[in-house]
Amino acid sequence: MFTPAFVCCLRNFPRQFLVACLLMFMAVASASTGKKELKIGLMNLSNGTYDLTTIYLDFGTSPAYNSLEDAAKVFNPSPIVPQLYSITTDNYYCQTNGYGPFVNTVSIPLGFEVDSGGTYRIFCNLIDNFEPTCLIRLYDQFTSLTHDLRSNYFNFSIPHATQDNNRFLLLVSFPPVIQLQDASCTNNDGVISIQQDPSVTWSLCQLYNSSNTLVGSYSNITGNFQFTGLPEGNYTLAFVYNSYVTTQAINLNGHYVTNQIGVSKTIASVGEQLQFFSLTGNATQFEWDLGDGSIIVGITHPQFAYYEPGTYMVVMRAYNVYGCEAFDTLYITILPSTGIPESEKPPVRVSVLERELIIHKPLPEHVSVTLYHINGQAVLNRSISDNSETRIPLVELPAGVYLLQLQQGSWRYVRKVLIP
């Protein structure tokens, strides 16, 4: 908290000065959120001594030396300890080096000094500060080889005491940018586009669907590429660089509409109230044509009664703002008010007792059982292959209203059930 005396002191400063200070404070605060830091180590394998140097990428820093953001290298006087440092663009040796913002691939020279020949190891800490698709690599200009520091450390041999500022470069690649194009009404034209660092060549880049089935694959791929012709769904994108593997989950949206309707009875009496149900996906608008000239708009599960005997074709149109639509149809027979002959009633009895769904015989053989949440999400699927009474546990489902669907071929029965 600021003291009253401090606040009083601030009042003596010009307003422009205070505004400039505030903007500078905001810039520093925002810069800290983008900071990426690595620690690179050099170890003498003969005695286990090592030295660390810190490199960070942040807004407001530059590759040239600046005493406000960099710390000069202080060499250890002990001859058995190896020395490691990074080098600025104006040739300063740094213990800590702010090398600019991380907006593209960064290449940072590393220098080292050792007082004896032997085998040494370069390793990297704090790699998890970077996105998994950022490759952290060491380029050895002596052998013209690039080593992946995410997968392992790098060992090299020196024949005698030396200082070398030209052998190693630390390469930090910018992560791929993934862009999505939703699947349209046909649900077969979604696109996943990858824009990547041109300095990187992935050994493999593979796309798997939610069933872990390979959908597409690229080998030795560099530059930008795409996976096309995709339906809506959850995908996993796997990036492989030699022995290093990382994955990224992707949810690709779609605009296609699914639509399935049902009714509490397909044979009813004149004036009898009927409950209609719809199980839709990606729909925001609903239009029921009830076959007698009546149209109901905007209601997902309407109620309706017919007042003339006959057979009515009910058509429900589900659609959305993207122009996608789907239709489903059912037929209802309305009998005079004398009632429904017993032989024409649906041969199904369903009950819920002590959190068990009980489906009583008789039933057609090989019936599929689907239970939907009232929002349309399927929460249970089961197949009944015989004509006996079937009990399905519901203990894992929360209490509420659900829609039960029994189906065999064109025969379908839908009703609402309450799980206590």
Q: What is the pLDDT of residues 283-299, one digit of tens each?
A: 999 999 999 988 999 99
Residues 292, 356 contacting (CB under 8 angstroms): no
Distance from the Cα of residue 230 to its chain's centroid: 16
- List, in order, residues 6 or more apart from 26 with CB less than 8 Å away: none
Q: Decide if pLDDT at 20 tops 50.
A: no
Q: Decide if pLDDT at 345 tops 60.
A: no
Instruction: Tell how strand 202-208 and strand 214-221 pair up.
Output: antiparallel
Task: Give the residue among 211, 184, 414, 170 at the shortest CA–CA distance from 314.
Answer: 414
Q: Decide if pLDDT at 342 tops 80.
A: no
Burial class of residue 183 in the structure, from the number of CB atoms within 10 Å of its CB (0-12 exposed, 13-18 middle, 19+ buried): buried
Q: Decide if pLDDT at 374 tops 90.
A: no
When the pLDDT of each residue in the chain is averaged and rounded to a whole number, the result is 86
> For the residues 44-52, what does the mean pLDDT come to?
95
Binned at pLDDT 50, 70 and 90, residue 83 comes out as very high
Q: How much is the pLDDT for 104?
A: 87
C-alpha–C-alpha distance, residues 32 and 208, integer Å: 36
CATH 2.60.40.10 fits 258-343, yes or no: yes
C-alpha–C-alpha distance, residues 237 and 248, integer Å: 5
Side by side, the strands of the sheet bearing 356-360 are: 349-353, 356-360, 390-393
> For the residues 42-53, what does the mean pLDDT come to?
96
Binned at pLDDT 50, 70 and 90, residue 362 comes out as low
Query: Is this prediction's pTM over 0.75?
Result: no
Q: How much is the pLDDT for 195?
A: 94
Binned at pLDDT 50, 70 and 90, residue 353 comes out as confident
Residues 82, 118 contacting (CB under 8 angstroms): no
> For the residues 110-119, what does the mean pLDDT come to?
96
- Pick the range with the lowest mean pLDDT from 5-14, 108-117, 290-299: 5-14
Range from 72-81, 377-386, 400-409 that averages highest in pLDDT: 72-81
C-alpha–C-alpha distance, residues 76 and 85, integer Å: 12
Q: How much is the pLDDT for 387?
A: 65
Among the CATH numbers 1.50.10.10, 3.20.20.80, 3.30.420.40, 2.60.40.3080, which is that of 346-419? 2.60.40.3080
- Peptide bond preceding 231: is omega within 30 degrees of 0, i.e. cis? no
Q: How much is the pLDDT for 286?
A: 95
Distance from the Cα of residue 113 to its chain's centroid: 45
- List, in order, residues 6 or more apart from 239 with CB less than 8 Å away: 132, 133, 176, 202, 204, 205, 245, 246, 247, 248
Residue type, 83: Q
Q: Decide if pLDDT at 416 tops 80.
A: no
Compute, in degrees rounded to 10, the torsion defined by CA atoms 77, 78, 79, 80.
Answer: -150
Task: Give the residue among 60, 81, 83 at the shortest CA–CA distance from 70.
Answer: 60
Residues 235, 252 contacting (CB under 8 angstroms): yes
> For the residues 388-411, what does the mean pLDDT come to?
80
Q: Decide if pLDDT at 410 tops 70.
A: no
Q: How much is the pLDDT for 363?
A: 62
Q: How much is the pLDDT for 349?
A: 74
Residues 363, 387 contacting (CB under 8 angstroms): yes
Query: 177-252 in CATH: which number?
Result: 2.60.40.10
Q: Decide if pLDDT at 232 tops 90.
A: yes
What is the dihedral sign for C-alpha 140, 145, 146, 150? negative
Binned at pLDDT 50, 70 and 90, residue 230 comes out as very high
Residue for token pair 């140097």: 53
Q: Decide if pLDDT at 141 tops 90.
A: yes
For residue 56, the tally of other CB atoms under 10 A from its CB is 20
Distance from the Cα of residue 239 to its chain's centroid: 15
Question: Helix, strand, or coil here: 17?
Answer: helix
Q: How much is the pLDDT for 9?
A: 46
Question: For residue 398, what is the DSSP state?
Answer: P
Q: 257-273: per-residue pLDDT in tens? A: 999 999 999 999 888 88
- Pick the range with the lowest mean pLDDT from 36-40, 98-102, 342-346: 342-346
C-alpha–C-alpha distance, residues 220 and 201, integer Å: 6
Tell me the C-alpha to C-alpha distance, in Å, between residue 398 and each of 298, 355, 401.
Answer: 28, 10, 9
Q: How much is the pLDDT for 343?
A: 40
Tell me the C-alpha to C-alpha distance, in Å, between residue 211 and each of 66, 214, 223.
Answer: 53, 9, 28
Looking at per-residue pLDDT, the higher value among 408 and 290 belongs to 290
Residue for token pair 């699947």: 183
C-alpha–C-alpha distance, residues 68 and 61, integer Å: 9
Q: 158-208: per-residue pLDDT in tens? A: 999 999 999 999 999 999 999 999 999 999 999 999 999 888 999 999 999
Q: How much is the pLDDT for 406?
A: 79
Residue type, 78: S
